[in-house]
Amino acid sequence: MRINGISFEVIGVLPESGQGGFGNPDNTVLIPLSTAQTRVGKAGAFRGSLKVSSIYVEVDKQDNMDATSDEITEMLRGRHRLGTEYKNDFTIQNQAQLLEFGNTMATTLTAFLGSIAGVSLLVGGIGVMNIMLVSVTERTREIGIRKAVGAKRRDILLQFLVEAMVISLIGGFLGIGVGYSIALSLPMMISALSS
C-alpha cells in the first residue's frame, strides 16, 4: 500500500465497526508515530514534528477507566513539567464523559422535539376546531332539517365529532407516513454527506 508515495506493508486488518459519530473508523489507516513524524504528511504538519495532537488509549475493563485516566494525567503532568500550582495543558476525555455528554444532548433534543410536537398538536387542534366551526356554520340548514326530521342534539354533535376525528386521523396517518419516510432516508443522507 502506498501513502503519499511511500510504500507500507499491511500487517493486519481491524474488524469492521461501522459508521460512528465522528466519521467512519473503517476508513482509518494506523501507522507507527515515528514513521508518521518522519516520513508522512506535509512539511510543518507532521514531518519532523514531535507534537502529538491526540492519543487514544483502550483499557481492558471499564472499571479501570478512572484509574487509567488518573495515571495518564499524572504521567503527562510529569512529562510537561507542570507543578502543582499549574493547571493541565491537556484534556483527557473518557468514554463515560462522552456518553454522559451524549445523554445530556439526547435529553435536551428530546425535550426540544417534544415541545415542538406539543405546539404542533395545539396548532393542529385549533385548525381542526376552526374547520369544524366553519362547517357547522355553513351547514345550519342541514342541521335544521335533521332536527325537523327528529334527530336529537346528541346525534348531530356525534356526527360532527366523528367528522373531526376522521379528519384528524387522516392527517395523523399522513404525518406518520411522511415522518417515517424521512426517518428511513435520514441515515442514507447523512452517510452520503459524510463520505
Q: Do 101 and 190 reside in the same domain of the chain?
A: yes
Q: What pLDDT digit, counting tens, does each position of 112-145 carry?
A: 999 999 999 899 889 888 988 888 889 999 999 9
Which residue shows C-alpha cell 445523554? Answer: 103
| Among 25-29, 49-53, 91-95, 183-187, the range of highest mean pLDDT | 183-187
Q: pLDDT band for position 21 (50/70/90)?
A: low
**In the numeric block, which cell numbers belong to residue 94?**
473518557
Does the pLDDT of residue 44 top 50, yes or no?
no
Q: Looking at the structure, do residues 162 and 73 belong to the same domain, yes or no?
A: no
Average pLDDT over residues 144-153: 92
Residues 6+ apart with CB under 8 A from 14: 26, 28, 30
Question: On the CB side of 102, how many CA atoms lie within 13 Å of its CA?
Answer: 9
Q: Are residues 75 and 123 in the same domain?
A: no
| Cβ(132)–Cβ(160) below 8 Å | yes
Question: Which residues form the domain of 179?
Answer: 95-194
**DSSP per residue, 85-138:** TSPPSS----HHHHHHHHHHHHHHHHHHHHHHHHHHHHHHHHHHHHHHHHHHHH
Please check whether residues 70 and 109 belong to one and the same domain. Answer: no
pLDDT for the residue 104:
93
Q: How many domains does the chain have?
A: 3
For the segment 60-100, what is each residue's pLDDT rounded down to a tens digit?
888 888 888 899 999 989 988 888 888 988 888 887 778 88
Counting runs of H as helices and runs of E as strands, what totals does the chain give?
5, 2
